[in-house]
Structure 1
Amino acid sequence: MFPDDVQALSAAVIASALKAGVMVATAESCTGGLVSGALTAIAGSSAVLDRGFVTYSNEAKTEMLGVPDDLLARFGAVSEPVARAMALGAVARSRASASVSITGVAGPGGGSAEKPVGLVHFAAAGPDGAIVHVERRFGDIGREAVRLESVRVALSLLLDAVTA
């Protein structure tokens, strides 16, 4: 179902989290649960994946993850502050101590000059409380390609978070 490199990254996240004794959670918008899907494709993932939040709407981001309305109003859903709030909310509202969040514009529509198609913000929260933000501009490479590249980045960030 997933490309070999995504399966390998997912397996590495599961193995590293298990070794570190860390539970993980995901908070996904434009990927719609693909990161959780990649993780659960790996046998043994139930030992470390607590839950995945699919928060496609702003209301879901607020209700499920506690993202403040004022952050969404001020910066928009596709922004560093919202990605950070999503990652922190996933930890706060789960049994996980590490998380990754993804929010972006997968396309083909929905982009603007300020936030073009292919812009994705990520954040990863580690068990030590550290949070890392990454912004990627994949360009208008097609909806599925943006989503798949986002899964790769998210899994890499999550791997870094659980091994830090």
Structure 2
Amino acid sequence: MTPAEVLDLARGRGVMIATAESCTGGLIVGRLTDIPGSSEIVDRGYITYSNAAKIEMLGVQPSTLDAHGAVSEEVAAEMAQGALSRSQAGIVVAVTGIAGPGGSEHKPEGRVCFGIADGWGVRTETFEFGALGRDKVRAATVERALVLLASALSAD
């Protein structure tokens, strides 16, 4: 799925897009805004790399971070919902993960949690990209986020 195709789907639905990004550091919104005319569709991108930024900018609950950690579907859901409620967007994609290097037995390198928030609610998923290396995990995360946006924008 290309960024231009995602923008066309959003335009067709009459909604703006926002992103809430941790491990990608703004790469998703960057890919979307590479497209001429994207200012009609892209509302904003939140780069919330630290836990403090997630709390302050998106309203992620400290108790959620304490209970589940930053790399969790629970945090991805709160990031997505927070960005939706704090923007003019009709759909948000949120990502939080471990791009690497590193990770742990319980949260390995390449694990990324996604959240999609729109008028139908919030949906989450976790994707295990594996220890591909930082650049490849981040690139794969951007591609998966575009697919998730397109899927949500295509749903009836």
The alignment's TM-score, normalised by the length of structure 2, stands at 0.96
Partner of 2:82: 89
Whether 1:150 and 2:128 are equivalent positions in the alignment is: no
Distance in 2 (CA, whole Å) between partners of 1:63 and 1:129 is: 25
Judge conservation of contact 1:25–1:100 (CA < 8 Å) in 2.
yes
| Distance (Å, rounded) in 2 between the aligned partners of 1:36 and 1:62 | 20
Which structure 2 residues correspond to residues 12-51 of structure 1 after superposition, within 5 A? 12-51=5-44
Q: CA deviation at 1:19?
A: 1.1
Q: 1:1-164 counterparts in 2 under 5 A?
A: 9-109=2-102, 111-126=103-118, 128-164=119-155
Q: Sequence identity, in percent?
A: 52
Aligned equivalents of 1:79, 1:144: Cα separation in 2 = 21
* Partner Cα distance (2:61, 2:122) in 1: 18
Q: 1:14–1:44: 8 Å Cα contact kept in structure 2?
A: no
Q: Is the 8 A contact 1:22 1:162 kept in 2?
A: no
- The size of the alignment, in residue pairs, is 155
Q: Structure 1: which 4+ aligned runs deviate by more than 4 Å?
A: none
1:108 and 1:80 map into 2 onto residues whose CA distance is: 21
Write out per-residue CA displacement over residues 8-55 of structure 1, whole angstroms, 9 at most, x where no aligned residue: 520111101111100110000000000000000111110010000000
Question: RMSD in angstroms over aligned alpha carbons?
Answer: 0.9
- Mark the runs of 5 or more structure 1 residues left unpaired by the alignment: 1-7
CA distance in structure 2 between the aligned counterparts of 1:157 and 1:44, rounded to whole angstroms: 21
Q: Give the whole-Å Cα distance in 2 for the aligned partners of 1:38 and 1:112.
A: 30
Shift of 1:131: 2.0
How far apart, CA to CA, are the structure 2 residues paired with 1:156 and 1:125?
14
Distance in 1, matches of 2:24 and 2:64, equals 21
User: Secondary structure of 1:123's partner?
Assistant: strand
Amino acid in the other structure paired with 1:119: R
